[in-house]
Chain A
Amino acid sequence: MMAIPKISAAVMRDRMVERARRERIPLQADIEIIATCNFKCVHCYIAPCAEREDVMSLEQATIVFDKLQAAGTQMVLLTGGEVFTHKQFKEIYLSAKRHGFEVYINTNAYLIGERWANFLAEWPPKGLSISLYGMSPESYERLTGIPKSYERVMRAIDLLLERGLIFDLKCPAMTITAEELPAMQAFARAKGIRFRTDYSIIPQEKGDAGPLQLQLPPHEVMALERRIDPELKSFRGYAALRVDGSTTDAVYKCGAGRTSLHINVHGGVSTCSTSRKVVGNLFAESFDDIWATLGGKVAMKYPAGHPCASCQFSRICAGCPATVEQLTGLPTGYVQMYCKMTHQRAHELGYHPTGVPRTVTEGIPAHVVTPTRTAARMLPVLA
């Protein structure tokens, strides 16, 4: 009978992902259990405008878990804000595990000392993702605004490593981190930890576009990518699977709204953590109704004449519908900065002769929505 078949967790997960894609099952959910944070990061789009009451209680989290469990969710990411500042974090985390989810955690790790490290070792998450903000006390504190943040996070990393926990490190690439990013990557590599970075900065949730001033312009993104990965191996492999000369008018090409979703502290559901446009509320509406609405959103197509609809690089674009939505107000907007980044990358990889997008030489069609005036004022002028 082989009641427990000998197949690896990875094979089983692939099988589940394939079926979830086919049948549009919300396999993965990001749940924001607290919006406030113990850091004051200059680039953050959530915590600076969060209030003390922006917290999901254990009872509310249980409602969310029950609904996700019934809908077929298998992986949940608990995120914030800073989750370890949540007074009921332990209970929420254990409830998620007891619902049978594979649980992931986003954290800045500042509060992870011996006790939390021992707890996580006893009740291991499927994965931890730790934000790293520099390689010296000075740079760390300049970004986080918190004394001793560098020392505390470095200690947490060692405590977690000593206990064999699986985690990765990540840092947003921006004007104030760019210089140290290669050193962060080297640090992670020396410790055997995966490191990743992201080049898109978005405005604060309630509209302040200040963080956009930290956005690296396209030519600096390219230079930084070359420093981190001189042969562009990782991007080359990514692009090889996605650039074949074809185009698509589908706006959403990721799993958002198809196999994944995001839930904020008040139960508001959006496509992903980057998108702050909620389409329904899990505390007030049925999951099925909200999931159907989300499905409608991610099925949208670009209007005729939109530059992205005829772009063969749209599947490797530096922007995505969520970041574009944050800058323009619409997922179907157009952000030329992302377009320039993407074409420069395509040029570096030999896919494009000049690296200059058509919209630079031919202009942006008048009916296409571009960044709001506030966002445009903050974005790099040399983009």
Chain B
Amino acid sequence: MNSGFVDNSVGYRRRDTYVYRLTVGEHLLVALHARSDEPLYALTPTGAQLWERLARWATIDELTETLVSEYEVATDSARQDVREFLEQLASLDAVESRGATA
């Protein structure tokens, strides 16, 4: 993923390698497969919101809009957060992409 470039022809969607749960006040990503280093990870509430949005294909701009519409955050800052989140998910094999990559 090229974090210095926004390519809205690329879509992202979460993979079925993790299950999300909100339980006992924690937003959890629970690993289903052996490939994960950890059995579970914690998400922030905003991460959980993006994860929910990633049930359907979404571009970086669409994901950014999810944050901007919900929180008082500048678009550039939200876009940077989205990029970082997608990078984290990619490193966990928790997200797939389609379309051209820059």
Contact = CB atoms under 8 A, between A and B. Distances in A.
Interface of A: 1-5, 7-9, 12, 15-16, 19-20, 25, 27, 69, 72-74, 97-102, 121-124, 126
Contacts of B84: 1-3
B46 A74 contact: no
A123 B42 contact: no
B32 interface: yes
B21 to A, nearest CB: 4
Contacts of B60: none
A4 B19 contact: no
A15 B25 CA distance: 9
Nearest to B34: A124
A123 B32 contact: yes
A100 B43 contact: no
Contacts of B75: none
A3 B44 CA distance: 5
19 contacts: A1-B44, A2-B84, A4-B41, A4-B47, A5-B42, A5-B43, A15-B26, A20-B24, A69-B21, A72-B23, A74-B21, A97-B19, A97-B30, A100-B23, A100-B28, A102-B30, A102-B39, A122-B33, A123-B33
Contact of A27 (B24, B34, B46): B24
Interface in B20-74: 20-21, 23-26, 28-30, 32-34, 38-44, 46-47, 50
Contacts of A123: 32-34
B88 interface: yes
Contacts of A20: 24
A3 B32 contact: no
A12 B44 CA distance: 12
A19 B30 contact: no
Contact of B43 (A3, A9, A19, A124): A3
Contact of B26 (A1, A16, A99, A101): A16
A1 B30 contact: no
Contact of B30 (A7, A15, A72, A101): A101
B39 A126 contact: yes
A124 B84 CA distance: 28
B96 interface: no
B81 interface: yes
A126 B32 CA distance: 10
A72 B41 CA distance: 17
Contacts of B30: 97, 100-102
B85 A12 contact: no
A3 B50 contact: yes
A97 B36 CA distance: 14
B20 A5 contact: no
Contacts of B21: 69, 74, 100
Contacts of B50: 3
Given A19-B24, A27-B24, A97-B32, A3 B46 contact: yes
B88 A4 contact: yes
Given A1-B47, A97-B32, 16 more contacts: A3-B44, A3-B47, A3-B84, A4-B29, A9-B38, A12-B26, A16-B23, A16-B25, A20-B24, A27-B24, A69-B23, A100-B21, A101-B30, A121-B34, A122-B34, A123-B34
Top 7 A-B pairs ranked by shortest CB distance? A3-B47, A100-B21, A1-B81, A3-B85, A100-B19, A16-B24, A4-B88
